[in-house]
Amino acid sequence: MEFCPTCAMLLQIEPANSGRKLRLFCPTCPYVCPIENKIVKKEHLVKKELEPIFSGSDAMKFAPKTGTTCPRCHHGEAYFRQMQIRSADEPMTTFYMCCNEGCQFEWRDD
């Protein structure tokens, strides 16, 4: 993004036509800036680290259990935690973790 040096408005791009080069112009004042070189800006994105819903085995020591079926191993009991992840007028999201020590599959119920 480029801004006008005289009035600080966001500059707009005027396409090249009839022999005129590509240029930036201000929509409020007569400022015009011809584009001589190709404008390129590369920025590497850093992926956000995903934090597990149930962090660590000790976190589940005091979590409540409920009678629900694990979709992976079909165990009949799971730990659960509810969080409001959308707007306030939407229902809470329930996150589950299988109680089976060999499975510990995590899923959610919207």
DSSP category for residue 9: P
The answer to whether the annotation marks 33 as part of a ligand binding site is: no
| Residue 26 in marked binding region | yes
Q: Is 99 annotated as a binding residue?
A: no
Alpha-carbon distance values, 100 to 20, 41, 57, 94, 106 (Å): 70, 50, 12, 18, 11
Taking alpha carbons only, the member of 20, 91, 100 closest to residue 60 is: 100
Q: Is 103 annotated as a binding residue?
A: yes
7 is in an annotated binding site: yes
Q: Known binding site: residues?
A: 4, 7, 26, 29, 70, 73, 98, 103
Q: Known binding site for Zn(2+): residues?
A: 4, 7, 26, 29, 70, 73, 98, 103
